[in-house]
Amino acid sequence: MEHLNQEKSAEADVQATPEASATKASRKVFVKTYGCQMNVYDSDRMTDALTNDGYEATDAMEEADLVILNTCHIREKAAEKVYSELGRIRKLKEEKAKDGKQMMVSVAGCVAQAEGAEISRRAPVVDLVVGPQSYHRLPELLNRASNGSKVVETEFDIEEKFEHLAKPTKEAVRKRGVTSFLTVQEGCDKFCTFCVVPYTRGAEVSRSVEQIVGEARRLAGAGVREVTLLGQNVNAWHGEGPDGREWGLGELLFELAKVDGITRLRYTTSHPRDMDDALIAAHRDLDILMPYLHLPVQSGSDAILKAMNRKHTRDEYFRLIDRIREAREDIAMSGDFIVGFPGETDQDFRDTMDLVERVGYASAFSFKYSPRPGTPGALLEEQVEESVKSERLSELQALLAQQQQAFNASLVGQNIEVLFEKMGRREGQLAGRSPWLQPVHVNAPAELYGEMATVEIVSSTANSLEARLI
């Protein structure tokens, strides 16, 4: 799949802290989230559903009555990492049982979808295996599992999920911060030969304009200022509009720009085949839409693009980039790259390096190809040797790092708008994001938290910017 992470993190703990129930919660839930922003969003929705069912979130696994691992299947050996974690959880569960305390364990997410009942077989500590399409039924499923039976729920029922997902309280949203993810689309119909998403997330499903705008208004009412629209293939979104017509993402962005309180919009992750004229026009006409676009290409070689089933060429990608930059001169590009795909020759790799040099990326994610069971790529011959993959990846990452550092340095001396998202690491410091998504650190009063302010960039590093208030 396209890489959804805007910050590189193969594995991250995300513990939401929702509003406590009116009556004191007697049960606590610990959620560990692996992978992409969509999993972060899903973890928050699971926490919201469980809060309504009497649970309270905790960031200490050892005090939890329920542990949920929300997993990602994109990385190599992702399932093995989950089984290793379950081994540690088993010991903790046994220790609690000696004290007469119960701990339930659930595996959720894409590994749950891919592995299904195999998880229960290999890890008896697991009480519930639940796929991404059944999170709205989590309290019911946990109730079924609480009597000692093992429950595996991995049916595809996405539309019902979006209709019934729990709505967070205002206090829960406030505690999560002034930026928020909002899933508008799920699943993928592209069937790239390296990707498991069509098999773990299912076919493309789009939420309606009414649902999305309603959620955006609730977020804004709770203090959210920046919303990032999420989808495995977000620019393929095609939801029902209030006029009964099918809308595209460009139209949706224009509608969301009208929501009071929202000052910034972003979206990720996109496919080059779905960048239409209306979406490019949104980048041209909407100041609220940030000038940063994650548009993965994966390879610069036409032969490899064909083998990957990307259904576009390098020249088509170049022409698309030109159209986007003509519409928005200050836009910065981000991308994903896979090196060592089966059959990749030295010339194919040189074509990728040439594409990177010609486009110029402000940031990018790059990986060695690793076969995913069940995908066509895993069956291809001419698998590339690991040593060759490593050499190519090092060369590519050196060029991408050079471009990122150059882009950051180009902002020194400029005045830009920053949304302050959190307290900085040093006393008297706030941290925020630039329009191009870089972290920005500024000495500023705490009352500017959650506000936009103009700053001057005074220095840059490979990954962040230092600034002073104007």
Q: Is 110 annotated as contributing to ligand binding?
A: yes
Q: Is 372 annotated as contributing to ligand binding?
A: no
- Say whether both 112 and 32 belong to one domain: yes
- Say whether both 64 and 86 belong to one domain: yes
Question: Which pLDDT does position 24 carry in this prediction?
Answer: 41
Q: Is 166 annotated as contributing to ligand binding?
A: no
Residue 169 lies in a domain: no
Residue 451 lies in a domain: yes
Question: Which pLDDT does position 263 carry in this prediction?
Answer: 97
Determine the Cα angle at 54 with ends 62 and 422, to 5°.
65
Are 37 and 21 in contact by the 8 Å Cβ rule? The answer is no
309, amino acid identity: N
Question: Which pLDDT does position 281 carry in this prediction?
Answer: 98
Listed in order, strand segments (DSSP E) in 97-178 are 104-109, 128-130, 151-153
CATH of the domain at 263: 3.30.750.210
Among candidate residues 288, 312, 333, the one where a domain is terminated? 288
Q: Is 107 annotated as contributing to ligand binding?
A: no
Residue 170 lies in a domain: no
The DSSP result for 380-413, as a single string, is -S-PPPHHHHHHHHHHHHHHHHHHHHHHHHHTTT
Based on its alpha-carbon atoms, the radius of gyration of the chain, rounded to whole angstroms, reads 22
- Say whether both 282 and 297 belong to one domain: no
The domain tally of the chain equals 4
The closest alpha carbon to 444, from 469, 470, 465, 417, belongs to 469
Torsion angles phi and psi, residue 458, rounded to 5: -105, -20
Residue 206 lies in a domain: yes
- Say whether both 233 and 182 belong to one domain: yes
pLDDT in tens, 161-215: 667 677 788 888 888 899 999 999 988 999 999 988 888 788 899 999 999 999 9
Residue 172 lies in a domain: no
Token pair in block for residue 458? 């005074």
- Say whether both 383 and 420 belong to one domain: no
- Boundaries of domain holding 372: 291-409
Q: How many residues does the chain have?
A: 470
For the chain, give percent helix, strand, coil, nearest 5.
40, 20, 40
- Say whether both 228 and 327 belong to one domain: no
Residue 59 lies in a domain: yes
Question: Which pLDDT does position 397 carry in this prediction?
Answer: 98
Among candidate residues 288, 304, 322, the one where a domain is terminated? 288
CATH of the domain at 442: 2.40.50.140
H or E element: which one contains 117? helix 117-122
- Say whether both 403 and 422 belong to one domain: no
Strand partners, 106: 68, 128
- Say whether both 267 and 385 belong to one domain: no
- Say whether both 64 and 88 belong to one domain: yes
Strand partners, 128: 106, 151
Among candidate residues 229, 259, 288, the one where a domain is terminated? 288
CATH of the domain at 51: 3.40.50.12160
Residue 142 lies in a domain: yes
The CA-atom distances, in angstroms, between 410 and each of 65, 354, 457, 462, 465 are: 50, 22, 10, 12, 11
Give the largest CA-CA distance in the chain. Answer: 66
Q: Is 92 annotated as contributing to ligand binding?
A: no
Q: Is 188 annotated as contributing to ligand binding?
A: yes
Question: Which pLDDT does position 461 carry in this prediction?
Answer: 95
CATH of the domain at 370: 3.30.750.200
Residue 422 lies in a domain: yes
**β-strands 465-469, 439-443: how paired?**
parallel
- Say whether both 301 and 405 belong to one domain: yes
- Say whether both 274 and 313 belong to one domain: no
- Say whether both 130 and 203 belong to one domain: no
Question: Which pLDDT does position 52 carry in this prediction?
Answer: 84
Task: Render each residue's pLDDT in the chain as its tens digit; 470 residues.
Answer: 454 443 333 333 333 333 333 334 479 999 998 877 888 888 888 888 898 888 998 999 999 999 999 988 766 667 788 888 999 999 999 998 888 888 999 999 888 887 888 888 889 999 999 988 788 888 889 988 887 788 888 776 655 666 767 778 888 888 889 999 999 998 899 999 998 888 878 889 999 999 999 999 999 999 999 999 999 999 999 999 999 999 999 999 999 999 999 999 999 999 999 999 999 999 999 999 999 999 999 999 999 999 999 999 999 999 999 999 999 999 999 999 999 999 999 999 999 999 999 999 999 999 999 988 788 999 998 999 999 999 999 999 999 999 999 999 999 999 999 999 999 889 999 999 999 999 999 999 999 999 999 999 999 999 999 999 99
